[in-house]
Amino acid sequence: MTGLPEGAFLQNGKYRIDKKLDNGGFGITYLGTQVGLERHVAIKEFFMKDFCMRDKQTSMVSIPNDDYREFADRFRSKFVKEARTIAKLNHQHIIRVHDIFEENGTAYYVMEFHSGGSLADLVEKRGRLSEDVALRYIRQVADALRYIHDHQLNHLDVKPANVLLDENQNAVLIDFGLTKHYDQTGAQTTTSPVGMSHGYAPLEQYSMGGVGLFSPATDIYALGATLYKLLTGEVPPEANEVNEDGLPPFPGYVSKQTAHAITEAMNPNRKKRPQTIDDFLALLGNGEHRLQKHIDLAGGVRGCATHITDDGGRQLIVNGVSFKMVLVDGGEFVMGGTEEQACPDPDEMPQHKVKLSAFFMSETLVTQALYKAVMGVNPSHFNTNPLHPVESVTWHDCQRFIQTLNQITGFKFRLPTEAEWEYAARGGQQSRGCQFAGSTEVDSVAWYEKNSEMTTHPVMTKQPNELGIYDLSGNVWEWCADWMGEYFPEKQTNPRGVDDGRERVSRGGAWFSSERTCRVSNRNANVPGHKSMMLGFRIVLE
């Protein structure tokens, strides 16, 4: 046994160990619960894997080799100092430390827990980020670095793996294990060894005494390297390679201004880099060169930024939450029960041709994070993860959300028509004729009754359809703009309930639905005032 067992308690039951999250060379990080407050926390334990041992019965940590005890004690003191350093910092983009204590013959500190993973995880999952999204995260980390530089600190380990994403998809800087403090003259007040992360550390971190004097430029190199990784999906070349050969040519999708800022930040000569965070941000500019094509649409409204993606889509950031609108080229299709099946449902007939102009559809269902960023509340029943689709919203709630979003952005979002929804679900001009949105196998694209475990799931965790749009089958039903029967007038539903009894269409199926219900031609409807934990929505833009 290396880590503490699941269910173990610390501080006389104040904290419970739920599971191990990470096992590094100097410590183990656990997901834990602060029992009294019933909240998740991250608990970091000092444990040098090459020197420490743990008693299986008592969980006590010891260092059997006397020759290494002084060495380990030195790093344990540094571990404690790291926690105290972070605890003195108060910034929205820096991890917060709640507690520190000694137990089991070692030391622990307790931090806030964020479930969004790291920037490294995000790039691993999705590939390179769009420029505006990457710059949003970089500016947040830069803001944190400016704050610690004002306190005469150098982080010395900025990299995507050390930037977590909080519940609102904002960046949070972590891991101050290599951080050094400097006095007012710029001389370091710590003598601990210097570490480095290859690809992100500049040349001076490889040299004895290379970071002996305070210099924000060292962190700025790592910040530029982090931006390089986010934009290209590749680990930057090591410092000696950059010194000898420079950086590789940037891909064409990276703007010249951003490429120049990265090149300047990663200059091997520390004195030739930007010397302050503000100098680096000045090189990046304020993003107007990327927003120029949309200034007539966005209206310069505060709280919104947008740019054109490589595939012709639109990436927007609204009050700190990013979402993408996918371009759906116009075309003609046969709407209704056209899949290869014995008997379509009666309300899927008759088949008829529909011709549509091009439009944009949201890449994902409206998430709880986006809904809260726009409306300030989260009405969802399954509200443990902001990346789950918002649900428990009426058709009228959707209209209020869209009205507010339009006021913020200057755009004219709306619910999709039923025909637009079905055309996009079928894959538009790229359709392969699948029964489900993107596949003939429901499990690959949909959360439904047989795999959902009776709950919603984060968006983008199943395969997208031919257009790169997620969750058009399953997860939650999606409100559409139409009254039931507009495209199939002879199938008008019987009046009932409120709103004069007529019903609005919903499409796609949900986590509770059968496989058949998740077909792209399947139809459903509810009165506009209906609210359900199985019912959400997505948006379109002309």
Tens digits of residue pLDDT in 138-150? 999 999 999 999 9
Residues 333 and 457 occupy one common structural domain: yes
Which residues are paired to 108 by β-bridges? 45, 101
Residues 218 and 200 occupy one common structural domain: yes
User: At a CB cut-off of 8 Å and minimum separation 6, what does 263 contact?
Assistant: 224, 246, 247
Residues 189 and 148 occupy one common structural domain: yes
| CA dihedral sign of residues 516, 521, 526, 528 | positive
Residues 367 and 470 occupy one common structural domain: yes
pLDDT tens for each residue of 330-355: 999 999 886 555 577 888 888 889 99
Averaged pLDDT, 487-495: 45
- The answer to whether position 3 is within a domain reads no
Residues 278 and 341 occupy one common structural domain: no
- The answer to whether position 484 is within a domain reads yes
Residues 277 and 401 occupy one common structural domain: no
Backbone angles phi, psi at 535, to 5 degrees: -125, 120
Confidence of residue 181 (pLDDT cuts 50, 70, 90): low
Q: How far apart are CA 361 and CA 374, in angstroms?
A: 18
- The answer to whether position 1 is within a domain reads no
pLDDT tens for each residue of 52-87: 999 989 999 999 888 788 888 888 888 888 888 888
- The answer to whether position 496 is within a domain reads yes
Domain boundary among the residues 256, 285, 314 is at: 285
Averaged pLDDT, 180-203: 68
Q: Which run of H or of E encompasses 397?
A: helix 395-409
CA distances from 420 to 328, 361, 400, 490 (A): 9, 9, 21, 20
> Is the per-residue pLDDT at 289 higher than 80?
no
Residues 383 and 358 occupy one common structural domain: yes
- CB-CB contact of 92 with 170 (8 Å): yes
Domain boundary among the residues 239, 257, 285 is at: 285
- The answer to whether position 290 is within a domain reads no
Residues 63 and 130 occupy one common structural domain: no
Tokens of 450: 């047989």
pLDDT at 1: 55
CA angle 493/494/499 to nearest 5° reads 90
Averaged pLDDT, 175-190: 64
pLDDT at 190: 53
End-to-end CA distance of the chain: 58
- Nearest Cα to Cα of residue 167 among 400, 454, 367: 367
Q: How far apart are CA 422 and CA 44, in angstroms?
A: 49
The larger pLDDT score, comparing residue 305 to residue 316, is at 316
- CB-CB contact of 298 with 288 (8 Å): no
- Nearest Cα to Cα of residue 321 among 260, 371, 257, 283: 371
Residues 427 and 381 occupy one common structural domain: yes
CATH code where residue 32 lies = 3.30.200.20
> Is the per-residue pLDDT at 482 higher than 70?
yes
This prediction has a pTM of: 0.55
- The answer to whether position 17 is within a domain reads yes
- CB-CB contact of 332 with 355 (8 Å): yes
> Is the per-residue pLDDT at 193 higher than 70?
no
Q: How far apart are CA 471 and CA 425, in angstroms?
A: 9
Residues 98 and 132 occupy one common structural domain: no
> Is the per-residue pLDDT at 450 higher than 50?
yes
- The answer to whether position 4 is within a domain reads no
Number of domains in the chain: 3
Where residue 101 falls (left for φ over 0; alpha for ψ -120 to 50; beta otherwise) is beta
- Nearest Cα to Cα of residue 522 among 457, 468, 464, 478: 478
Residue at 195: amino acid letter = G
Residue 326 C-alpha from the chain's centroid:
18
Annotated active-site residue in 157, 219, 347, 482 = 157
CATH code where residue 185 lies = 1.10.510.10
Residues 15 and 164 occupy one common structural domain: no
- The answer to whether position 517 is within a domain reads yes
- CB-CB contact of 364 with 538 (8 Å): yes
Q: Is 345 a catalytic residue?
A: no
Residues 394 and 489 occupy one common structural domain: yes
pLDDT > 90 in the chain, percent: 65
The larger pLDDT score, comparing residue 344 to residue 484, is at 484
Q: How far apart are CA 46 and CA 509, in angstroms?
A: 48
Confidence of residue 211 (pLDDT cuts 50, 70, 90): confident
Domain of residue 519, residue span = 295-541
Domain boundary among the residues 285, 320, 347 is at: 285
